Structure 1
Amino acid sequence: MKKKFKRQEYARYKKLGQKWRKPKGKTSKTRRYEKGKPAMPSVGYGSPKDSRGLHPSGYQDILLCNIKELEDLDPEYQAGRISSTVGRRKKEIMLEKAKELGIKIFNK
């Protein structure tokens, strides 16, 4: 699981939120990597190159808008996510087709 980096002084001011921002202050303890302060993102925290950008299940996440796109998927490496713009009737047809082809669908 990837480390969640918190913004400097996120607990002190609610308006800052927890979204990461690089500390730029001259005397910033976080910027100077002092002990007891939140960690800063750096090279060593990256995820492995072969698993980068994949769904947590290990499949490549593909957005599907129609049945043709569903048929082009490789069920061994790719899984689908049916677009929200697809209606109920066509979604049911796509789910049946996916079951037939052995393709995993994330949002059933």
Structure 2
Amino acid sequence: MTSDTERLMKVRARQKKRKPEFNRCDSHKKKKLSPSWRRPRGLHNKLRRQISAKGKLVRVGYRSPKAVRGYHPCGMKEVLVKNAGDLLGAEGCAVRIAGTVGMKKRDEIEAMAREMNLKVLNPTSGGD
């Protein structure tokens, strides 16, 4: 990792500490509303009108530096893998195995990743 990338990772970590949690308006009041962000569009909506006690709106200023976007905190690019063939394009990256992959194929992917000296972010617990 270069010194510039290392510096930007520290900047990103500092920004993430200060970044508020962006939850959907009134999601804590109603069970049917998931907390995933939706832009408030109502005419009288306090969040849309930016009343300070109601939370923050998602803005471009909260974004992390472009050079380190998509990096895992360990400093490696994160790649989602669905089959063993996807590992060939993941040189020097941290690998995350997709949740829809079954146990048989997962073991195959993990074995191949071990051979290629790749870091698996979500290995099987207690396997092997």
Task: Provide the TM-score with structure 2 as the length reference.
Answer: 0.61
Task: Kindly state the Cα deviation for residue 105 of structure 1 after the two structures are TM-superposed.
Answer: 2.3
Q: What does residue 25 of structure 2 align with?
A: 8
Q: Provide closer, same or farther for how the CA distance between residues 65 and 40 of structure 1 changes in structure 2, counting only shifts above 3 A.
A: same
| Rounded Cα–Cα distance in structure 2 between residues aligned with 1:8 and 1:40 | 10
Q: Provide closer, same or farther for how the CA distance between residues 58 and 32 of structure 1 changes in structure 2, counting only shifts above 3 A.
A: same
CA RMSD of aligned residues (A): 2.6
From 51, 56, 62, the equivalent of 1:34 is 51
Q: What does residue 64 of structure 2 align with?
A: 47
CA contact (8 A) 1:64 1:80 kept: no
Letter in 2 for 1:23: P
How high is the sequence identity, in percent, across the aligned residues?
Answer: 33
Q: What does residue 118 of structure 2 align with?
A: 103
The structure that is helix-richer by fraction is 2
Q: Provide closer, same or farther for how the CA distance between residues 97 and 6 of structure 1 changes in structure 2, counting only shifts above 3 A.
A: same
Task: Kindly state the Cα deviation for residue 45 of structure 1 after the two structures are TM-superposed.
Answer: 0.9
Task: Provide the TM-score with structure 1 as the length reference.
Answer: 0.70
Q: Which has the larger radius of gyration?
A: 1
Q: Provide closer, same or farther for how the CA distance between residues 97 and 64 of structure 1 changes in structure 2, counting only shifts above 3 A.
A: farther
Letter in 1 for 2:83: C
